[in-house]
C-alpha cells in the first residue's frame, strides 16, 4: 500500500475517507501481528496515514462549527466588563 499524501486525502469524499479509515485500522491490526513475527513493520506508516485522515476530518468539523452563528449578546457584556477597569 502506498502512503497517502494530505492532498490526496483532501480530494476524497467523506464516505471514501471513512471507508479508508476502517481499512487502515484493519491493516494496522494485521501489521502489528506481523511485526511480532517479523522485524519489519508498517505500523508507523499506517498510523501516520490514519492521523492525516483524522486531522482532515477534524478540520472540516471545525470549519462547520466556526460558520455557525455566534451569540451576539455575550460580546457587549464582555466589552462592558473590560471598559470598567
The whole-number pLDDT of residue 49 equals 93
On the question of pLDDT at 78 being above 90, the answer is: no
Q: Domain 6-84 carries which CATH code? A: 1.10.287
pTM: 0.67
On the 0-12 / 13-18 / 19+ scale of CB atoms within 10 A, 44 is exposed
Q: What is the mean predicted confidence (pLDDT) over 73-83?
A: 66
- The per-residue pLDDT for range 3-36, each reduced to its tens digit, is 788 889 889 999 999 999 999 999 999 888 888 7
- The per-residue pLDDT for range 40-66, each reduced to its tens digit, is 678 889 999 999 999 999 887 666 666
* Count, residues in the chain: 85
Q: Could you tell me the end-to-end alpha-carbon distance of the chain, in angstroms, rounded to an integer?
A: 61
On the question of pLDDT at 85 being above 60, the answer is: no
Amino acid at each position: 500500500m502506498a502512503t497517502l499524501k494530505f492532498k490526496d486525502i483532501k480530494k476524497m469524499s467523506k464516505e471514501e475517507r471513512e471507508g479508508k479509515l476502517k481499512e487502515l485500522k484493519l491493516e494496522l491490526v494485521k501489521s502489528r501481528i506481523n511485526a511480532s513475527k517479523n522485524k519489519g513493520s508498517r505500523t508507523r506508516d499506517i498510523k501516520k496515514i490514519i492521523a492525516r485522515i483524522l486531522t482532515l476530518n477534524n478540520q472540516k468539523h471545525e470549519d462547520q462549527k466556526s460558520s455557525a452563528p455566534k451569540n451576539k449578546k455575550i460580546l457587549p457584556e464582555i466589552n462592558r466588563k473590560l471598559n470598567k477597569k
